[in-house]
Structures are given as C-alpha cells and as structure tokens.
Chains A and B, each alone.
Chain A
C-alpha cells in the first residue's frame, strides 16, 4: 500500500516540476492534470495506509515526516525529469504499469483498495494514452526528437525492471487476494509498451542492467534532494497546521 502511495506521490512531485515549463501551454495544462490525478491517488492510499497502521498518522505525517529509507517508491519515479523525451518515456512506462496494476487491484479482496483502484484505472488509462500520443509524435517526428527518445529509453528502461519484482510483498497478502503479484503484470505491460514503441519507430532497449532497491528503502542520490525540498517547510514548523 505504501509502495503504491509513494509511487504516486513522488511521480506527482516530479510532474509538477513541469508547471510553467512545458513545451506548449496546452501541454502545461495536460501535465498538471496528470500530476493532480496521481497526487489524488497517492493521498487516498496514504490516508488508508495510515488508518491500517493504526498509529494515528495521516497523509501529511506519512508524506512529510518519514525519512528517505522509509519511502517505498520505485526508483523510476524519483529520477530527474530530464528533457521532455525522458518525461514522456517515464510516463509511458510508469502509467502503463500503474494501469495494469490498478486494473488487477479492482478485484482485490480489500474493498477499499478495490474502490481506489477502480477510480484510478480510468485516470491511468488517460495517462497511458497521453504518453502514447507523445511517444508517436516524438519517435516518428523529427530526427532530433527520435534521437532524444532513443537516448531517453536507454536511460529509463533499466529502472522498469524493479516495477515487476515480487519479493517485497508479504506472501499472505497475495494469498488472501488483497495484493497483486507484480511479476504477472510484466507481460501485458511489455505488450502495450512494445506496441507503442514499434508504432513510434523506436527500438525496445535490451534488458541488461536492472537497478533495484526502492521497495526496500534504497533510493538513488536524487531522492534526498527531492525530499529535502518537499519536506523542509513542513518540518521547519513541528506540529503546525497548514
């Protein structure tokens, strides 16, 4: 639960960095929409995670007062935005993963999680489609954009393997049908991503390097800076209400 929430929270934090910087005003509005959806999903999940924990922590306690090692997001979402090509490749890979995951979680035996997933599915479907539209226009547009997309794929692809790791989920949650085994999502994920890349005349990168650790609290060096920025004000005023 915390892993899903953190994925959304950190992805939204990165997407919101595009605000007032997008390639066209229309895209500024679109990226903000996606960030708002993703942040909204994260908030629902964080609140629920806090309730399940039963220690009285709310969404803000979890977002602002945990240290880096306690964040369970995949490393993919914390990576720098890079240029628009990197952002679109990240979005394609991440939103497709989220879409597969939430589609499966609609059938979770945990009713509240299933309800959150049902709402998120329609949102992520739109995110995937947005990433697809842009992947086509950048992959099959100018040579410069094609080259940038190829470089972005090379940079992002290694971090997609972590999305489908299984070991970190408690076996009983899988057995009870609460959680979904991420490994089962890799095939439908690859089929979607592969189709988009082929249509965009882009090559699917080789699977070699597969960095990992996010689900266990091991992050990349940029994560500390992201959290420092996100959390500093909240932490500078302990106990304050905003």
Chain B
C-alpha cells in the first residue's frame, strides 16, 4: 500500500487473508479462532502458530484462504443477511470511516 498526495492506493501485492482453526486439545474439533495475513499457506500456518498458540492453546492448526469459504446464512431460522456476496470476509461494500476523536 502506498500513500501519495494523500491519496491511497492498495497494491495488488497485499497478502491475502487466511482463516485460522485450532484444535485446542486432542479429542476436540478444530474451531475458528480468527484470521491473519500471509503470502502463502506455509507462512500462514507458521504465523498462525506464533499468533494463536503463543500460550500453548492448541495441538493442531488449519489455515484456509478466506476467499475459499462459502457461507450459508448465519442461522437457518434467521433469514436476514446481506444477499450479495457469499465470501465471509470480503463484503463488496467499503464504508469510509469518518474522522473521529474518541477515547480508547
């Protein structure tokens, strides 16, 4: 990403997003813990290990490209969701963030 004259452009080289699943202990299923950026799968697993198991929270890690996930509606009974776009983390709409002065 570069910033020129106050205008920003997002490079195509930005690393893709990966979803991370961790098996906390033997006998339990992998569950989603969050996401991270990495240039490829090998590095993604590596980064996931450093980031999401710093305190020995897992015995096994899966990483999945976020773009490869197809989602259903969040809840079969609750038929309310954005009809457009079926990628979990890549909503088509980008909402510009206003200048804000807020405490932490």
Query: Which residues in A have some Cβ–Cβ distance to B below 8 Å?
Result: 24, 26-27, 29-30, 33, 129-130, 133, 137
- Which 6 interchain pairs have the tightest Cβ spacing? A26-B47, A30-B50, A29-B50, A33-B50, A29-B51, A26-B36
- Assess whether B39 is interfacial by the CB under 8 Å rule: yes
Query: Which residues in B have some Cβ–Cβ distance to A below 8 Å?
Result: 15, 36-39, 42-43, 46-47, 50-51, 54
Residues from chain A with Cβ under 8 Å of B37 in the complex: 24, 26
Supplied contacts A26-B38, A27-B47, 19 more A-B pairs, CB within 8 Å: A24-B15, A24-B37, A26-B36, A26-B37, A26-B50, A29-B47, A29-B50, A29-B51, A29-B54, A30-B46, A30-B47, A30-B50, A33-B50, A33-B54, A129-B46, A130-B46, A133-B42, A133-B43, A137-B39
- Most chain A CB within a 10 A radius of its CB, from B15, B43, B51: B43
Q: Roughly how many angstroms separate A24 CA and B37 CA in the complex, as a whole number?
A: 9
The residue in chain A whose Cβ has the minimal distance to the Cβ of B15 is: A24
Q: Roughly how many angstroms separate A26 CA and B43 CA in the complex, as a whole number?
A: 10
Chain A min CB distance to B50 (Å): 5
- B43 pairs with A137, CB closer than 8 A: yes
Chain B min CB distance to A112 (Å): 24
Chain B min CB distance to A14 (Å): 19
Q: Roughly how many angstroms separate A33 CA and B47 CA in the complex, as a whole number?
A: 11
Q: Roughly how many angstroms separate A27 CA and B15 CA in the complex, as a whole number?
A: 13
Q: Roughly how many angstroms separate A133 CA and B47 CA in the complex, as a whole number?
A: 12
Q: Roughly how many angstroms separate A24 CA and B16 CA in the complex, as a whole number?
A: 13
- Most chain A CB within a 10 A radius of its CB, from B37, B46, B54: B46
A-B contacts, 26 listed (Cβ < 8 Å): A24-B15, A24-B37, A26-B36, A26-B37, A26-B38, A26-B43, A26-B47, A26-B50, A26-B51, A27-B47, A29-B47, A29-B50, A29-B51, A29-B54, A30-B46, A30-B47, A30-B50, A33-B50, A33-B54, A129-B46, A130-B46, A133-B42, A133-B43, A133-B46, A137-B39, A137-B43
Q: Roughly how many angstroms separate A137 CA and B13 CA in the complex, as a whole number?
A: 14
Q: Roughly how many angstroms separate A5 CA and B51 CA in the complex, as a whole number?
A: 27
Residues from chain A with Cβ under 8 Å of B36 in the complex: 26
Residues from chain B with Cβ under 8 Å of A30 in the complex: 46-47, 50
Q: Roughly how many angstroms separate A26 CA and B42 CA in the complex, as a whole number?
A: 13
The residue in chain B whose Cβ has the minimal distance to the Cβ of A27 is: B47
Q: Roughly how many angstroms separate A27 CA and B37 CA in the complex, as a whole number?
A: 10
Q: Roughly how many angstroms separate A29 CA and B55 CA in the complex, as a whole number?
A: 13
Q: Roughly how many angstroms separate A133 CA and B37 CA in the complex, as a whole number?
A: 16
Residues from chain B with Cβ under 8 Å of A27 in the complex: 47
Residues from chain B with Cβ under 8 Å of A129 in the complex: 46
Residues from chain B with Cβ under 8 Å of A133 in the complex: 42-43, 46
The residue in chain A whose Cβ has the minimal distance to the Cβ of B38 is: A26
Q: Roughly how many angstroms separate A24 CA and B46 CA in the complex, as a whole number?
A: 14
Residues from chain A with Cβ under 8 Å of B15 in the complex: 24
Chain B min CB distance to A36 (Å): 10
Q: Roughly how many angstroms separate A129 CA and B49 CA in the complex, as a whole number?
A: 13
Residues from chain B with Cβ under 8 Å of A130 in the complex: 46
Q: Roughly how many angstroms separate A26 CA and B37 CA in the complex, as a whole number?
A: 8
